[in-house]
Amino acid sequence: MNNYLQQNKIKSFVIKCVAVVVLAIACVSMTACAASHSLTKNTNELNACLASEPTTIDPALCSTNDASTMILNMFAGLAK
């Protein structure tokens, strides 16, 4: 009976240690997920996914959807 109680205590201690390690890993992984945009200081950056490179950024000569998307995003601040 004494051996059974000793094994039960060891099993309980191991489960608690595993729980603490899992909790520590979870805390470290959550703090490592900082927003990358908060670290950059350049706010004048435009990231857009376009299918092809526009031939011109002149609004008068715009003929493709990609160029239209780029022009609308570039000149949006001028119309405010």
The pLDDT of residue 39 is above 90? no
* Percentage of the chain lying above the pLDDT 90 cut: 15
* 60 within a domain of the structure (yes/no): yes
pLDDT of residue 34 exceeding 60, the answer is no
Nearest to 73 by CA among 35, 39, 45, 42: 45
Is residue 61 in some structural domain? yes
Give the model's confidence band at 33: pLDDT under 50 very low, under 70 low, under 90 confident, else very high.
Answer: low
Q: In terms of domains, do 25 and 54 share one?
A: no
What's the chain's Rg over C-alpha atoms?
Answer: 29
For residue 55, the model assigns a pLDDT of: 83
Longest Cα–Cα distance of the chain, Å, equals 91
pLDDT in tens, 45-63: 767 777 888 888 888 988 8
> Residues 55, 80: one domain?
yes
The domain in which residue 75 lies consists of: 47-80
How many domains is the chain partitioned into structurally?
Answer: 2
Are 71 and 60 within 8 A, CB to CB? Answer: no
Compute how many other C-beta atoms are within 10 angstroms of the C-beta atom of residue 70.
Answer: 19
* pLDDT of the residue at 68: 87
Look at residue 32 and tell me whether its pLDDT is greater than 70.
Answer: no
CA 22 – CA 9 distance, rounded (Å): 20
- For residues 27 and 52, state if they share a domain: no
| CA 3 to chain CA mean position, Å | 51
The reply to whether 77 and 52 lie within a common domain is yes
65 lies in a domain?
yes
Tokens of 17: 């240690």
